Amino acid sequence: MKHKKFKETLVAWRKDNAYTQQEAADRLGVSRRSLENWEQERAMPQGFGLSAMLKIIQEPNAKSARRHKRGK
């Protein structure tokens, strides 16, 4: 994922985990509007927020953890 643009990485993470924009925003600790703006490249997260977010998005078990929560 490190060679993708932030938008592509974010959208791929959200879709791979079957998150709605609201669920993804909640997971990242941001508003749905912020997430939408990032996905549309109208804004970018800054500083520590970006670092923390990339760490969450790049978690290797994000998909399996999501499935476990849903009972799949």
**CB 13, CB 61: distance < 8 Å:** no
> Coil, strand or helix: which one is 53?
helix
pLDDT tens-digit series, residues 56-72: 888 765 554 444 444 44
CA–CA separation, 71 vs 9, rounded Å? 26
Distance, CA of 53 to CA of 35 (rounded, Å) = 11
Q: Report the pLDDT value the prediction gives residue 4, as an integer from 0 to 100.
A: 65
Region 6-67: CATH code: 1.10.260
Domain residues of the chain, as ranges? 6-67
What single DSSP character describes residue 46? -
Q: What is the pLDDT of residue 32?
A: 95
If one compares 62 and 48, the residue with the highest pLDDT of the two is 48
Judge contact between 35 and 43, C-beta under 8 A: no
Q: pLDDT for 1-31, tens place per residue?
A: 444 688 998 999 999 999 999 999 999 989 9
